[in-house]
Amino acid sequence: MPPKIYSTNKTMTSPQIEIQLIAAVVAMACAIPGVFLVLRKMALISDAISHSILPGLVLGFFITHDLNSPILILLAAITGVITVILVEAIQRTGLVKEDTAIGLVFPALFSIGVIMIAKNANDVHLDVDAVLLGELAFAPFDRFLLNGLDLGPKSLWIMGTILFITIFLVIMFFKELKISTFDAGLSASLGISPLLMHYGLMSVSSVTVVGAFDAVGAILVVALMIAPAAAAYLLTSDLKKMLLLSIGFGVCSALLGYWVAHWLDASISGSMTTVLGLVFLFVYLFAPRKGWIAVWYRQKQQRTEVSLLTFLLHLNNHSEERERHINHLQEHINWQRVRSQTVLDLALKNNMITISEEIVSLTSKGKEFTELALEYILTNRDEKIEPMKDDFFLFRG
Amino acid sequence: MKEQPAIQIDDLTVAYNYKPVLWDIDLTVPEGVLMAIVGPNGAGKSTLIKAILGIIDPIAGSVRVFGKAYKEQRKLVGYVPQKGSVDWDFPTTALDVVMMGTYGRLGWIKRPGNDQKKASLEALEKVGMLAFKNRQISHLSGGQQQRVFLARALVQDATIYLMDEPFQGVDATTEIAIINILKELRKRGKTVVVVHHDLQTVPEYFDWVTFLNVKKIATGPVKDIFNDDNLTKTYGINYKVAINN
């Protein structure tokens, strides 16, 4: 159980503000590399890194006896990059696929770390629980002192520095990150080495994971990297906006998570991750274009439109009245009554048919539409249906 | 000094996991030709292009572009990768993809500005895709995506163009658009090397051809060497195509 930071009055205490500040900075620093990991389909690598840095972390701790030491962060980050190299080496043998290689490497390294902790449990103030879940609530107790002057929590300085470097790198190398992620082949041919970008991203991710790990732990740091990016991916088709949205989701979830933890008297990192999960779920359901509801609605519309087109083609092909009788829909085309009614209504609403004495006829607009649609289906040329796109979903990508 | 060929390949061997994909290739691409590279699946056609561009390291041999190593001549070479080699769900627009063609000349860190944007818009217009400049790339048809790739290569403003199956899976509109661009490039004295699948159209579209199947079978002007003999040697079966002069 992490200790609680109580406020006895209504205003926030200084540790409370500091914890939220750290949480927000961690969320931002994680969200940025997370976007590129998601776009490179390497989300699992962040999971691997977050676990396999443990031996580096423990080793660093033996040497420095300080979880926030830059040497420790560097050592752990190097373990992270070694993980990536190992995974790629195993993958290159061609004997196993990438996911298997990841599954082989990180438990091995993680378990080495666990044994190292267990073997030295007596001298080391480091336990597996803290490694897995982090101790954000403790963060304000470890102060950054300079000549006796209190400059705030140490982890805020560390994560702040990591965040600053990350933002600097993303701004400097935005175009290189974009092209090497989208088209590694062209990138290589232009002299922008995808390998260099890959290991650069892996190094930044490793450093971020190590820095964030103190606050949120090895498991939850993955959520902070992946969930905001995954949610942003569903909402935008612009890389810059995706980055900004991810940062926004990360920070909001971190702050909201903190207050949920406060109200429920529960783990801060656990609440932050839960909120992240809920944010993703919400976006997944309600995203305007790629969301589940939007897709479901679009597919339903498309089904209706295909039915409409089938119906119009049928009318176009048959001049005899028997084939155009309103009851014929149920009998011959074999549709259920509801669908028939929907299709008839849609065709009527768009002035494509007229019905007189239960006999359906195509209007001139209906004829024109049918012919254009036929031509589109036969030639697959977009300009044929360009003017109809506003009325119908049917031919939208 | 004698004029250098556009591309000179000597004794090039490339292997994946110790299995040779290209074996001891000697190939000269003269300046100003429109060359098709043909061969069966797995013949190493894409690998040859990637080896020229330094994307794959050969285990032996050398590639010279106008007499120098490719690394020194990057800016002279434009590249159209296979359409399937990228993720078209990537969050970006058609214009943005075309702008990527300017990154090589810009070099590291420098960002594209108005000049690059203007050039990219012109390239989009050339391939008939200006109206789609702000369209998300996943909402383009296959042919439109291919034209965006072509526009991106045009923006590279190169002297040599290497294209990996630009005609694959495209509609008639796109095929015509690509041919027109190829012809225009030839008119401007550019050298174009195209990995090509449709043997029927080789004599119509290209003036040079290279037959490849792990080893080089033949290379030369289409009118001299595009015959049943070389086709049979390349494809292993008695291959007959209608060749109009």
Chain B residue numbers with beta carbons less than 8 Å from the beta carbon of A192 are 103-104, 108
- Decide if A191 touches B, using CB distance below 8 A: yes
pLDDT digits (tens, 9 = 90+) for A39-94: 999 998 988 998 898 888 888 888 887 777 788 888 888 999 999 999 999 988 88
Give the predicted TM-score (pTM) of the model.
Answer: 0.87
Across the interface, whether the CB atoms of A233 and B91 are under 8 A apart is answered yes
List the single best residue of B18, B74, B109, B155 to mutate versus A (max A Cβ within 10 A).
B109
Strand pairing report for B160-164 and B60-65: unpaired
In B127-168, alpha helices (H): 142-155
Across the interface, whether the CB atoms of A238 and B92 are under 8 A apart is answered yes
How many residues in total does chain B contain? 245
- Rounded to the nearest angstrom, the minimum Cα separation between B45 and chain A is 15
By CB neighbour count within 10 A (0-12 exposed, 13-18 middle, 19+ buried), where does A55 fall? buried
- Rounded to the nearest angstrom, the minimum Cα separation between A275 and chain B is 25
List % helix, strand, coil for chain B (3-state, nearest 5): 40, 25, 35
Across the interface, whether the CB atoms of A185 and B79 are under 8 A apart is answered yes
CB nearest to B55's CB, from A188, A379, A381: A188
Window 218-237 of A, Cβ < 8 Å to B? 233, 236-237
Which element (helix H / strand E) includes B9? strand B7-16
By CB neighbour count within 10 A (0-12 exposed, 13-18 middle, 19+ buried), where does A162 fall? buried
- Rounded to the nearest angstrom, the minimum Cα separation between B178 and chain A is 16
Query: pLDDT in tens for each of the 397 residues of chain A?
Result: 445 444 444 566 788 899 999 999 999 999 999 999 999 999 989 889 988 988 888 888 888 877 777 888 888 889 999 999 999 999 888 888 888 999 999 999 999 988 888 887 666 566 666 767 777 877 787 788 888 888 888 889 989 999 999 999 999 999 999 999 999 999 999 999 999 999 999 999 999 998 887 778 877 889 999 999 999 999 998 999 999 999 999 999 999 999 999 999 888 888 998 999 999 999 999 998 889 999 998 888 878 777 888 888 888 887 777 777 777 766 666 666 666 777 778 788 878 888 877 788 888 888 888 887 777 777 666 555 555 655 555 554 4
Bridge partner list, B192: B34, B161
Q: What CA–CA distance (Å, rounded) separates A121 from A388?
A: 72
**Whether B128 contacts B171, CB under 8 Å:** no
- The 3-state DSSP class for residue B150 equals helix
Residue B31 token pair: 């300046």
Q: What are the distances in angstroms from CA B45 to CA A196, B50, B68, B84, B226?
A: 27, 9, 22, 15, 17
**Whether B129 contacts B168, CB under 8 Å:** no
- The 3-state DSSP class for residue A89 equals helix
List % helix, strand, coil for chain A (3-state, nearest 5): 75, 5, 20
Q: Check residue A98 and give its pLDDT.
A: 86
- The 3-state DSSP class for residue B194 equals strand
By C-alpha distance, the chain B residue nearest A39 is B90
How many residues in total does chain A contain? 397
Buried-state track A348-365, b at ≥16 Cβ within 10 A, e below 16: eeeebbeeeeeebebeee
- Decide if A188 touches B, using CB distance below 8 A: yes
The strand order across the sheet containing B191-195 reads B77-80, B160-164, B191-195, B34-38, B208-213, B215-221
By CB neighbour count within 10 A (0-12 exposed, 13-18 middle, 19+ buried), where does A322 fall? exposed
* A261 residue type, one letter: A
- Decide if A185 touches B, using CB distance below 8 A: yes
